[in-house]
Amino acid sequence: MGHFTSLYSGSSGNCSVVQDESGFLLLDMGKSCRTTLQGMQHLGLEVAKLQGILVTHEHRDHVQGLKVFLKHYPVPVFGQAQTLERLLELELVPPATELVALRENRNYAIGNFGVQSFATSHDVPCCGYRIHTQNGRSMAMATDLGTITPVVDSALQGADLVALEANYDKNCLQMGSYPYPLKRRIMSHQGHLDNEDCAAKVRQLVQEGCKRFALCHLSRENNTPDLARATVEEAILSSGIRPEGDLKIQTQKRDEPSPWMEF
């Protein structure tokens, strides 16, 4: 079995964990090294078992803690070539960091995990990840995407667990205090995924057999965990699906580790 959770998840910072019996991977590190280590300690994760860090893109809420962490714990960092180049250019990682560029939709062995990256639609080069455990289980994570492209759709199909962005509620965003250009960016196809689009995708995946969902990267200002979850559940019920007892939909906590999800 594999396990997934996040140390923190939201517009203020993101860091997720995929673990199996052999060790674990981190996906992004958008808060301080101290905050990340505290989250790892809370979950009983030993740094010695960290097999690498997967980076989705260059925005600070995904990479802010890398530089200090890697000075103390030098592990390989994986991501798209353009993203890794930007990390060096912006001095967000130590110069001696082992950076490994992943080509999209190719299989890579990272520790005992199999990893594939796939492009997501954002305003900088950005990717999601599909991760396979030794015993044949798989999960996929897609955040920071304004729309679900055919590439993303394909990457999510058949996964045992899907971690998907539910960044904002349209009404909250439109009625909120953000300036119009920022609202337009968020709602664009290179922005973020709203609750309704997330819910529509989850409904489809439930129909295809997936039963584990983590709702990620919720906006503090334009969403709430209850609203995101209710939107997803309503979409499932309105389609005539009667969820079985083993269906699990979990909103990831903003400032602390979320409960483990088994897949």
Of the CA atoms within 13 Å of residue 45, those in its CB half-sphere come to 27
Supply the pLDDT for residue 31. 98
Give residue-wise pLDDT tens across range 227-238. 999 999 999 998
Give residue-wise pLDDT tens across range 3-39. 999 999 999 999 999 999 999 999 999 999 999 999 9
Cα 105 vs. chain centroid, distance in angstroms? 17
Supply the pLDDT for residue 171. 97
Supply the pLDDT for residue 154. 98
Residues of the chain predicted below pLDDT 70: none
DSSP string, the chain: --EEEEEE-STT--EEEEEETTEEEEE---S-HHHHHHHHHHHT--GGGEEEEE---S-HHHHTTHHHHHHHS---EEE-HHHHHHHHHTT-S-TT--EEE--TT--EEETTEEEEEEE---SSS-EEEEEE-TTS-EEEEE-S-SS--HHHHHHHTT-SEEEEE--B-HHHHHHSSS-HHHHHHHHSTTS--BHHHHHHHHHHHHHTT--EEEEE---TTT--HHHHHHHHHHHHHHTT----TT-EEEEPPSSSPPPPEE-
Supply the pLDDT for residue 61. 98
Strand partners of residue 248: 212
- Which residues 6+ apart lie within 8 Å of 207 measured at CB? 239, 241
Q: pTM of the predicted model, to two decimals?
A: 0.96
Supply the pLDDT for residue 242. 76
Supply the pLDDT for residue 241. 79
Supply the pLDDT for residue 71. 98
Supply the pLDDT for residue 105. 87
Taking each helix axis from N to C terminus, what angle separates 195-207 and 225-238, rounded to the nearest 10 degrees? 40
